[in-house]
Structure 1
Amino acid sequence: MSVVNQVNSEKRLIAGISIASIVIYINLYLVQGMLPLIADHFTVSMSQATLLLSVTSFTLALSLLFFAILSDRIGRKMPALVSLYLIAFIDLLMMFTHDFSLLLILRMLQGVLLAALPAVAMAYFKDELGQDALLKAGAIYITVNSLGGIFGRLLGGTMSEYLSWTQSMQLLFVLTLIGCFLSSYYLPKCRFVKPVHEKPKGFVNKTDIKGFSIHLKDLKMRLVFLIGGTAFMVMVNQFSYIQLHLMAAPFSWGRFEVTFIFLCYLSGTFASYRSGKWIQNFGLSRVLLFCIGLMLLGVLVTLMDSITLIFFGFLISAFGFFLLHSSCNTWVAMRASEHRSKATALYLCTYYIGAAIGGPYLLPFWQHWGWNGVVLGVVLGLFITLLLVAKYISVPEGTGHELSVV
């Protein structure tokens, strides 16, 4: 392949994965901005409506391991594309759904499908790209993840304010289908080569178990899994509770206005894009310490309890978190010299399980002490994350590729 063709193929791969990622995160987080509409349409409480995000995150987390195995069997491209079209089909079914229990089931199924792309994306990049291009692709990928999350939540808030449930699902179906077509067009032919091993006996075989165990036996890898999970546990859920805080007195913001807090993710978008450069220059250890410091500073600033400082605090927190997540995600893909999709899946499984348990973890803090309690819960969670980083730094280097970790 000529240099020009190679560059074009790399650009098409990054574009195709990025578009697919935006579709994934719009579908995942749209309901977070639609909770009032969902509660009204299905005649359920707001707390019941939040189950739609929780069950989706939980089934997504567990399904990552399945797609990691599947992609090692049949390649990266097919699972990603097939899952996208099935997500669009479920959006179509939700358009005609009027029973909340059925909607929960559909969201659980959608969570399974939403896992396909995150499970294979970094492995897909590692299979197709060189190290320099991989760092850039990883940074762009996390950047568009944050953009998809922002757009999904803001779109959900807009739908909740101006559209009915049926109209909202119609729009979501059209957007998802357009994303499917664009991803199909841009994704180049996959050069994945199936690993050579004994003939599989059943879907999960000894090679798969070995693949997962290789990464789980790596202490530094396990610590990075937990660092990403604990950081996301407090990050994504503090955004949920700040909405309740802003809707209460003295702010009394409306259900659409509170979604503007998600614009703070834009600072994380910038941080994600720059993460590849910074991890090369400073090493993962320094980057992680810097990120946790920013997240602590950001959440403490919100105690000043003014709109300006709350937004400023969340801008700082989002910057720190997405720099941490992008760095961890890329580091895992780079360190995994084999069974790459399994390494990424294990990281993201821990990551989304953290998101699933973060809501219940922060709930008693909110119930007893309001937003000040949530800040206390976040600080405690970040202290645990800091201990994990300290342990990571203290562990001597073992085998595997490193990214100038100091």
Structure 2
Amino acid sequence: MIEVGSNVFWRGTLALVIGSFMVFANVYVTQPLLPMIAKEFNISPLQATASFTITTLTLGISLLFYGPISDAFGRKGIMVMTMVGITLTTLCLSFVQSYESLLLLRGLQGFFLAGLPAMAVAYLGDEYTPEALMVAVGLYISGNTLGGIGGRLIGGFVGEWLGRASTFGVMSVISLICMTAFIILLPKSQGFEPKPLRVSHIVSNMLGHLKNRRLITCYFIGGFSFFIFINQYSYITFVLEEAPYHLSSKYIGMLFLTYLSGTLGSAISGRLAKRWPQPNIMVLGTCILMLGSLVTLGGSLWAIILGLLINSFGFFLCHSTASSFVSRNAKFAKASASSLYLVFYYLGASIGGYYLDPFWRADGWLGVVIGSWIVLVLVACAGVSLIRLNKSQSN
């Protein structure tokens, strides 16, 4: 097993951080391009947004596929295959001439993008010691935040400079570089034990995970935290477009630089888990997210930025800890357990906006914060119940 601080630990962890950056940069690169896509293909903003949401949709659905497949056939080979698929679809996107083709490729890309997130934590669970796992997961998820920031910045700045098609061309080159580094750096699997691939076993594993009180509580915490966190960003853009801020789309897009505090939160989560039980850290992260939401009510632009920085730190502290907790507490089929966590995670992102919309229409940003607190209080309560469950089962 790989120990914390060893050369192979840093090689493997760096490989997964680079892979994570590649995946999430490709997921989010289209967000700043949406107005350009709408204009180029003469479609509505709502239609243009589908070029982003179809990717997250197919990504979420595909997670259920990759977990069982990797439990049967291994992790590294399948992760590499999906990264090849990401690079090729990104390159093809630079040549599309119709919106239908773009939409089809983005949907296909979502299928490939699911591969690494579905298997990365399971790979760490196979190869790393429990202590090394906690540290590595935090660093790996920091790659998620860097990818989210990097993808939006690449899309915004390269898109404005070279246009939509060239942006995908640049992204395909970056993807190729990341994929090459990943293949070279990631150690071969040594601790993987294959399981038979049977549909009955897959269904049984999924049901088994859902019956595990520790796991289902953790799924709830991760899913509903993201449910609030990612959709707050959507509504704050409407606030900042209006008086007294009047920010342009370029500067609103730079709000995602506040994800950098989330990179820090993810990176230190493993170290904190050496001192305190992981459920305690999930509750701490949720409470920090609640605090940041309140700070945004200060009214000034600086208060909003500070609140978003606090939110990002708290959310990613909670999320990275929950991801590690799932891998450590899955009694079997670790990749399936991690995939199921991410299904809850992306499902939360997909439906959170619908929940917050009535609060937004009723009382603007104050309503969004109130709606957020209602859910986050329930998430914190779930975390407290996980603390008690953890204590009772460890005694």
Q: TM-score, normalised by structure 1?
A: 0.91
Distance 1:287 1:102, change over 3 A: same
Could you tell me which runs of 5 or more consecutive residues in structure 2 were left unpaired when the two chains were aligned.
none
Distance 1:398 1:71, change over 3 A: farther
How far apart in 1 are the matches of 2:375 and 2:35? 29
How far apart in 2 are the matches of 1:358 and 1:34? 23
1:61-80: CA deviation from partner (whole Å, max 9, x where unpaired): 11111000110121000111
Alignment of 1:329-344 (within 5 A): 329-344=323-338
Match of 1:133 in 2: 132
- Tell me the amino acid that sits aligned with residue 48 of structure 1: Q
Match of 1:24 in 2: 23
Match of 2:179 in 1: 180
Match of 2:201 in 1: 207
- Tell me the amino acid that sits aligned with residue 251 of structure 2: E
Contact 1:298/1:317 (CA < 8 Å) preserved in 2?
yes
1:39-85: CA deviation from partner (whole Å, max 9, x where unpaired): 22222222322222222112111111100011012100011111111
Distance 1:301 1:2, change over 3 A: closer
What SS does the aligned partner of 1:251 have?
A: coil
Match of 1:356 in 2: 350
Question: 1:303 Cα shift?
Answer: 1.5
- Tell me the amino acid that sits aligned with residue 281 of structure 1: R
- Tell me the amino acid that sits aligned with residue 331 of structure 1: F
CA RMSD, aligned part only? 2.3
Match of 1:44 in 2: 43
Contact 1:61/1:115 (CA < 8 Å) preserved in 2?
yes
Question: 1:354 Cα shift?
Answer: 0.5
2:253 aligns with one of 250, 259, 283: 259
1:303 aligns with one of 297, 307, 320: 297
- Tell me the amino acid that sits aligned with residue 27 of structure 2: L
Question: 1:213 Cα shift?
Answer: 2.4
Task: Indicate whether 1:240 and 2:239 are aligned.
Answer: no
1:130-189: CA deviation from partner (whole Å, max 9, x where unpaired): 122211111110111111111112222213432311111111111111111111111222
Match of 1:103 in 2: 102
Question: 1:397 Cα shift?
Answer: 5.7
Distance 1:155 1:363, change over 3 A: farther
Q: TM-score, normalised by structure 2?
A: 0.93
1:316-356: CA deviation from partner (whole Å, max 9, x where unpaired): 11111000001100111111242110111111110011111
Distance 1:196 1:148, change over 3 A: closer
Alignment of 1:249-288 (within 5 A): 249-288=243-282
What SS does the aligned partner of 1:173 have?
A: helix
Contact 1:234/1:378 (CA < 8 Å) preserved in 2?
yes
Distance 1:216 1:11, change over 3 A: same
Distance 1:309 1:176, change over 3 A: same
Match of 1:12 in 2: 11
Match of 1:384 in 2: 378
Match of 2:188 in 1: 189
How far apart in 2 are the matches of 1:150 and 1:2? 30
Question: 1:300 Cα shift?
Answer: 1.4
Distance 1:196 1:240, change over 3 A: closer
Question: 1:394 Cα shift?
Answer: 4.4
Distance 1:219 1:96, change over 3 A: same
Distance 1:294 1:128, change over 3 A: same
Distance 1:196 1:173, change over 3 A: closer
1:78-105: CA deviation from partner (whole Å, max 9, x where unpaired): 1111111111111122112232233222
Contact 1:16/1:182 (CA < 8 Å) preserved in 2?
yes
Question: 1:235 Cα shift?
Answer: 0.4
- Tell me the amino acid that sits aligned with residue 41 of structure 2: F
How far apart in 2 are the matches of 1:2 and 1:76? 16
What SS does the aligned partner of 1:349 have?
A: helix
Distance 1:93 1:64, change over 3 A: same
Alignment of 1:74-85 (within 5 A): 74-85=73-84
What SS does the aligned partner of 2:276 have?
A: helix
- Tell me the amino acid that sits aligned with residue 18 of structure 1: V
Question: 1:34 Cα shift?
Answer: 2.1
How far apart in 1 are the matches of 2:97 and 2:264? 40
- Tell me the amino acid that sits aligned with residue 142 of structure 1: I
Question: 1:29 Cα shift?
Answer: 1.2
Contact 1:35/1:49 (CA < 8 Å) preserved in 2?
yes
